[in-house]
Structure 1
Amino acid sequence: MDLKGVLEVLEQLAPLSLAESWDNVGLLVEPSRPRPIKTILLTNDLTAAVMDEAVGMKCDLIVSYHPPLFRPFKRLLQKDWKQRLAVRAIENGIGIFSPHTSWDSVEGGVNDWLVGGMGRGKVSVLSQAVSSGAQKHRVEFSCMDDGEVNSLLEQLRHTEGSETFQCTRINSESGGQQVNLTCGSSALTGAVQILLSHPHASKSLNITQVQQPPLLGCGQGRLSVLEEPVSVSTAVQKMKTHLGLPHLRLALGDQQTLDSMVKTVAVCAGSGASVIQGVTADLYITGEMSHHEVLDAVSKGTSVILSEHSNSERGFLGVFRERLSARLDHTVSIVISQTDRDPLQVV
């Protein structure tokens, strides 16, 4: 399969439109010489060790959960480790793709996998994703009769972006007509200019922004109301098993003990304080939080489990490998990096 075909499958599994606006997702390095994609390496972070691994196996595409290229470069030099990675990828004809927060947001993605470690429960999204379609506006105005409406609509049809117009007309009790016009952002200014120049339409003109529909099941963070509440101690053991870690960091909430029961759990993979902070839950689970963010949670009686940043995400690579392999009809070798690991360890 060629690179374009693989990218289409990656987009189907987790649309890049779900990524946060600040993120840098998608194809980050594109080889100049097209070649069949035979081997894909999955990693949480693209480090020098992982790049050595990719080059050694003659990898064609690296899918790195975290984007190794985030801030703009003005030059590519050997003194910066991320720039060195980009140069090595280019020299070896290896593509680099990053999904990052699109994997976090998508239904069945990283955050659903993370909260699943606590067992079955009623799961909801903490920060709801909405459709990424073009922004639309509803323009409402009144006219005296059909003649005025037809004249205005004819003028509006000649404005830029008029192909986005959707129009309904309602006869009013006074004999006039109420017009509801939906248009894209590109057509809004021209439409308003025409309507403001009309004596009747300008007096009744009302403009509202159409809210984008929510994408059910998608968004940042998850809250689970567990079917079977567990103790804090059991929750810790469950997450150790789920994440494959011998150690976790725990902060007990005010007046809580290891035997206190956990019914509600809020999770956000990575550095999740901005998403879970303020959520009412018995337990927060994320990769990292600052000292003061932990204190804030504890003061409310909420216990906190921290795994270190990438340890809260890495286990999803195995889940994604199976999904990607199935979508590619098992025609591509998909390998999970053996050198990728969180830079922090307990010593």
Structure 2
Amino acid sequence: MISYTTSSAASPFTEAVVSSMRRLYPEALADKSFDNTGLLLEAPFDSLRRQMNSVLLTVDLTQAVASEAIENKHCCVVAYHPIIFRGLKSLTLADSQQSSLLRLALEGISVYCPHTAVDAVPGGMTDWLCDIVTGTPPEKTTSVSKAESIPQETAQPPDGESNSQSQTKNPQQNSDLQPKSEDDVFNDDVALPRSAIKSSTKRPHMKRSYSKPVYPQSSSNQNSNSNNPLTTYLPHTRTVLHPSPMSSISSIPSPSSYSQDNTGFGRLLTFPHTEPQHLTHLIERIAFGVGTPKGFPVAIPQDQQVEDIMIRTVGVCPGSGAGVLKDCGADLIFTGELAHHDALAVTERGGCVVGLFHSNSERGFLHAVMRGRLEGLLKEEWARVRAQYLERGDKEGEDGDGDGDRAVVNEELEDALADESVNVEVSRVDRDPYGIVVLEGSQVEGMKI
């Protein structure tokens, strides 16, 4: 019988999750000048409320995501954005974020946040965004196909509708979201679908209405569409804009795969002098890569037309990229969001901006990359942790006889360690606060909001 007390420790499975995340995204690479990464909520193991050996991935730990984790009995939430950024003087139910943490702790669910460590690593979130712009070279097709083999996770439709109900109501939704050609995307200097541009003389009797907010629906196999422009690889050079300090890299247990050439914040993509890319083509690639949203902000210089702009350099950063990309001088800034004056500064110097809304530049990575990588490594780590606990219990069991209370705890710990299963899921309710509301013209009155 295992004689290891768990009264003040997290669950063994949570230990395996944390060690897996630290191997994939070393905390030493995070930007500690402002970031708060690591195990932010360590819930003690409770045999009466033992959760499944399951991890829930999310960008933001909202109240809806906390409820999802509790309902589905996930053992640990991996939230890309830290739910605790500043020091706390109290934990109360009056604050929504603190309330979520308290609810999760009560249920024995821990929270780990990797944030900027995911941005910095080679092959991390920043490089994933770069691959959306450029496609992946032929030698990477094997790893890409593995990621795409992960079962598709589809965002939950609004108002609790099932996916089948949503598709029945609008069977053309997916095809309508995907641009067919540059002419379909751009017309008369306005970046709108041609179908949305109507002459005022043709609609005097039409009622105007606005759609309900539409959100991108990322999945692990969204790029398998035969019309996907990402199947074409664009030759380029890729440079790290802000390399990680060597002191951070050398502190990683196995630093051989990390260097200042591939590790750090922000990337600069440079196309050959002879092969600059049309801005419209890059926008189309970005749209496919992040789940074909109805639209997203694009900023261009006032004296230029979007269909005439050619791009040779692209600065890339997930989330809010102003600080990372400020001085890169790229023809195109591709990030989640820029403040008004930051975007204006880019266009005034002749550059362009593509913004996706903050977390839309991040969420697809969870589906396309993190889920598969974490699940694969977690299976190894969970086997290691189980063996370690069992070995420790055997040794302690030979030396001590234990008491009745310890025996009850030990038996239930044995049950937890006997479970070999591993599951990693992406939240179905996590989404950016902003959706796209589209003006629709139709003889049939549309859905009001």
TM-score (norm 2): 0.57
Q: What CA RMSD, in Å, does the superposition of the two structures yield over aligned residues?
A: 2.0
Partner of 2:431 in structure 1? 341
Q: Which has the larger radius of gyration?
A: 1
1:134, distance to aligned residue in structure 2 (A): 11
Match of 2:264 among 205, 219, 234: 219
1:311, distance to aligned residue in structure 2 (A): 0.5
Partner of 2:375 in structure 1? 325
Partner of 1:251 in structure 2? 299
1:339, distance to aligned residue in structure 2 (A): 0.3
- Note if 1:125 corresponds to 2:240: yes
1:94, distance to aligned residue in structure 2 (A): 0.2
CA distance in 2: counterparts of 1:326 and 1:262, whole angstroms: 38
1:127-153 per-residue CA deviation (whole Å, 9 max, x = no partner) reads 110133599xxxxxxxxxxxxxxxxxx
Partner of 1:16 in structure 2? 27
Partner of 2:174 in structure 1? none
CA distance in 2: counterparts of 1:132 and 1:36, whole angstroms: 38
SS of the residue 1:4 aligns to: helix
Specify the code of the residue in structure 2 equivalent to 1:299.
E
CA distance in 2: counterparts of 1:300 and 1:293, whole angstroms: 11
CA distance in 1: counterparts of 2:27 and 2:95, whole angstroms: 28
Partner of 2:341 in structure 1? 292
- State the number of aligned residues: 270
Partner of 1:196 in structure 2? none
Q: Quick check: which one's helix share is greater? A: 2
1:181-231 per-residue CA deviation (whole Å, 9 max, x = no partner) reads xxxxxxxxxxxxxxxxxxxxxxxxxxxxxxxx9633111111111365321
CA distance in 2: counterparts of 1:292 and 1:101, whole angstroms: 24
Partner of 1:312 in structure 2? 361
SS of the residue 1:89 aligns to: helix
SS of the residue 1:222 aligns to: strand
1:254, distance to aligned residue in structure 2 (A): 5.3
SS of the residue 1:117 aligns to: helix
Specify the code of the residue in structure 2 equivalent to 1:72.
G
Partner of 2:15 in structure 1? 4
CA distance in 2: counterparts of 1:307 and 1:237, whole angstroms: 13
SS of the residue 2:428 aligns to: coil
CA distance in 2: counterparts of 1:57 and 1:260, whole angstroms: 48
CA distance in 2: counterparts of 1:105 and 1:134, whole angstroms: 11
Match of 2:288 among 241, 246, 252: 241
1:6, distance to aligned residue in structure 2 (A): 2.1
Q: Assess, with a 3 A threshold, how the Cα gap between structure 1 residues 133 and 302 changes in structure 2: closer, same or farther.
A: closer
CA distance in 1: counterparts of 2:333 and 2:364, whole angstroms: 18
Q: Assess, with a 3 A threshold, how the Cα gap between structure 1 residues 214 and 26 changes in structure 2: closer, same or farther.
A: same
CA distance in 1: counterparts of 2:244 and 2:14, whole angstroms: 28
**C-alpha contact (below 8 Å) 1:287/1:306 kept by paired residues:** yes
SS of the residue 2:104 aligns to: helix
- Note if 1:49 corresponds to 2:49: no
Q: Assess, with a 3 A threshold, how the Cα gap between structure 1 residues 294 and 133 changes in structure 2: closer, same or farther.
A: closer
Specify the code of the residue in structure 2 equivalent to 1:32.
P
CA distance in 2: counterparts of 1:63 and 1:11, whole angstroms: 12
**C-alpha contact (below 8 Å) 2:316/2:335 kept by paired residues:** yes
CA distance in 2: counterparts of 1:304 and 1:264, whole angstroms: 12
Q: Report matched runs for 1:272-283 at 5 Å.
A: 272-283=321-332
SS of the residue 1:328 aligns to: helix
Specify the code of the residue in structure 2 equivalent to 1:324.
L
SS of the residue 2:269 aligns to: strand
Q: Assess, with a 3 A threshold, how the Cα gap between structure 1 residues 222 and 134 changes in structure 2: closer, same or farther.
A: closer
Q: Assess, with a 3 A threshold, how the Cα gap between structure 1 residues 73 and 243 changes in structure 2: closer, same or farther.
A: same
Q: Quick check: which one's strand share is greater? A: 1
CA distance in 2: counterparts of 1:88 and 1:40, whole angstroms: 17
Higher relative contact order (CA 8 A, sep 6+): 2
SS of the residue 1:32 aligns to: coil
Q: Assess, with a 3 A threshold, how the Cα gap between structure 1 residues 342 and 134 changes in structure 2: closer, same or farther.
A: closer
1:235, distance to aligned residue in structure 2 (A): 1.3
